[in-house]
Copies of this chain bind each other. A is one copy, B any other.
């Protein structure tokens, strides 16, 4: 088996079409039946791509979900700018809540898959690190405005605002209570001001 450095990939026509069919099947199954139903066999049947192909290219459900996340990430994300740190964090939190409660439930599926699939774990972490890095500007803007202490750590503030949502919604499986986005955004904004 030649290693990757010596193989010329064929990303064109058929291969791209196969990927599209498979990822479309993943999204459909996720939306209609939830993440437990995303298996290689189910995706293969739905997409009419042979199951051996799915195993070879994606390895397991986590690989499928990670690729679905990659495909969705092709659209650039920019953090909100509402004029206040509290407003920005509330808006970020609203997006997290939408991701955790909306359809298709990609984030929850990836979290679940991440415990069994290195590909899913890696995709999830990279996604979140990217989001936190991009969102850091909401804290640096707040510092410039005097809305946050000069020594406030942007990443820690963002994690403090968003992590409770993952904990409450994904891990504790609580319903999304009204005001949830605002509650932890307000606490994180107050923390950023207090140092």
Contact = CB atoms under 8 A, between A and B. Distances in A.
B124 A171 contact: yes
Interface stretch (A5-13, A47-55, A107-115): A107-115
Contacts of A129: 172
Main secondary structure of the interface of A (DSSP, over half): helix
- What interface size band does chain A fall in? 35 or more
Number of copies: 2
Contacts of A186: 195
A190 B195 contact: yes
Contacts of A166: 163, 166-167, 171
Contacts of A174: 125
Contacts of A116: 36, 112
A71 interface: no
A191 interface: yes
A80 interface: no
A160 B188 CA distance: 8
A173 interface: yes
Interface string A169-195: 001111000000001101110110111
A193 B190 CA distance: 8
A40 interface: no
Interface of A: 35-36, 111-112, 114-116, 121, 124-125, 128-129, 153, 156-157, 159-160, 162-164, 166-168, 171-174, 183-184, 186-188, 190-191, 193-195
